[in-house]
Structure 1
């Protein structure tokens, strides 16, 4: 067992991950849309939030030789229940989905069972409504390639105007995000709030990693490196010149929200220009 600090700089460490062996990247496949490669069925269950309930539910599928391809569970209703949504493959099972649903419903900890699949053009969709939630609010998902194509097209066709739009829009978004994190976390420490943002960007797939190179409160100066941000990778692939104006504005607005003063940011290095990372310098705006 290797103790591994997940803090990019050795200042005020606040978490430790215990990892077995070398670092690896885990994948989270949301069971919402799938290519039909077997006898696939979606199941959605509302369960009582008690230890061992998921194990008993999974055993029902396992005993019927049904493969669970992916799933996610979320605590709902003030912690009293869990919604479990899963994609299953009945290809090697002799049991019907209706029989599995009936057997699951006999469990007193299973409050509701919905199942089915809607197939259009070889793509399977859940037949029931699924709300994606982040921070107790509805969220949405964009495929990586859709978002990068959007940003690249904005810069390619609108040039300086597109860059200005991205920076200003992202600045406002970054400021608002900082206020949300200040209310949602148990810290007011500026450095930790910046670390929270870095970890969130990693968790959402916006960057591969980050590093806080310098943190100075008076006068305020924050230097952050981002590795393989979706924006820099888009510009590299589309061969669009310029810098990462979206990330530039987002970071400037976020730091401005933390310190309560207007900030300005500049990008000293950019992966889209051949550097090994994107480096942003954020400081107080001086009129």
Structure 2
């Protein structure tokens, strides 16, 4: 996920923002050993997160604020010499603005990029205004993305009827797409998804028609991959049309229709 991405405001000329990516053994108290050393070295931790690499090892990515004259290489060496640490990487965010521990960014298993919501919405608007069947094309594009996400989740962790909804909701929040409320019956394949603060609807502006076809497709792709059945998702209410939230209805696609056809939706 993009949880190693952060922004620091209020640049201090007397300090520097330094990131460390530390691979450590997940023994009891191992993180405390690392944080204790950083505290002794006057490294103020501003932001950090932990990724589980394997059952025995983890990756601790942190941004620290240190004095301008601090010896980064020496501190990294001290961290690397800890018994619980197997590898250390570090770097400096020169202007303390936006930085990532990793380049390229990795988002659910593949390269990711940062983009303004307006940039993506401009692409959607251009398609809607100039391309026949734009809504269907956007739905199909989302379908592929949602399917890839579900495949990745299944490859790295157990996914079941107890967590498939929360995984999707956490993904949307993490990448800034929106806040989800999901109700989906895994026996009937029916339900609905409420999207609060949809980045598409919020930025798109007023519209006579729902504008989140890409999200409908993403939901359909994710659920289709998880359930192993063709799932149809359509947006029935959109914030861009003046509604309070966006609402997408989930249902099992008619068996006589192939997935590509049933996802195309109405044309504009």
Shift of the 80–224 alpha-carbon distance from structure 1 to 2, 3 Å rule, reads closer
138, 142, 157: which one pairs with 1:170? 142
Tell me by how many angstroms 1:209 deviates: 2.9
RMSD: 3.7
Shift of the 158–48 alpha-carbon distance from structure 1 to 2, 3 Å rule, reads same
Tell me by how many angstroms 1:223 deviates: 2.9
Give the aligned partner of residue 4 of structure 2: 30
> What is the CA–CA distance in structure 2 between the aligned matches of 1:138 and 1:104, rounded to whole Å?
29
SS of 2:74's equivalent? Answer: helix
TM-score by length of 2: 0.71
Shift of the 114–251 alpha-carbon distance from structure 1 to 2, 3 Å rule, reads closer
> What is the CA–CA distance in structure 2 between the aligned matches of 1:142 and 1:88, rounded to whole Å?
22
Are residues 1:108 and 2:83 paired?
Answer: yes
211, 217, 227: which one pairs with 1:249? 217
Deviations 1:72-113 (A, max 9, x none): 23233x33333322222113x874323323432332223333
> What is the CA–CA distance in structure 2 between the aligned matches of 1:45 and 1:199, rounded to whole Å?
25
Tell me by how many angstroms 1:245 deviates: 0.8
Shift of the 155–48 alpha-carbon distance from structure 1 to 2, 3 Å rule, reads same
Tell me by how many angstroms 1:30 deviates: 2.3
Are residues 1:277 and 2:252 paired?
Answer: no
Deviations 1:166-206 (A, max 9, x none): 0122234334545555665353x4x8644543444334432
Give the aligned partner of residue 23 of structure 2: 46
Shift of the 111–280 alpha-carbon distance from structure 1 to 2, 3 Å rule, reads closer
> What is the CA–CA distance in structure 2 between the aligned matches of 1:195 and 1:112, rounded to whole Å?
32
SS of 2:112's equivalent? Answer: coil
Tell me by how many angstroms 1:134 deviates: 5.7
Tell me by how many angstroms 1:226 deviates: 1.9
Q: Do the aligned residues in 1 keep the contact of 2:178 with 2:195 (CA within 8 Å)?
A: yes
> After superposition, where does 1:219-234 map in structure 2 within 5 Å?
221-234=190-203
| Aligned residue pair count | 249
Are residues 1:185 and 2:161 paired?
Answer: no
Q: Do the aligned residues in 2 keep the contact of 1:209 with 1:228 (CA within 8 Å)?
A: no
SS of 2:193's equivalent? Answer: strand
The unaligned stretches of length 5 or more in structure 1 are 1-27
Give the aligned partner of residue 65 of structure 1: 42
SS of 1:58's equivalent? Answer: helix
Are residues 1:81 and 2:57 paired?
Answer: yes
Shift of the 281–106 alpha-carbon distance from structure 1 to 2, 3 Å rule, reads closer
> What is the CA–CA distance in structure 1 between the aligned matches of 2:163 and 2:19, rounded to whole Å?
40
Deviations 1:142-186 (A, max 9, x none): 345266435444445435543221012223433454555566535
Tell me by how many angstroms 1:55 deviates: 1.6
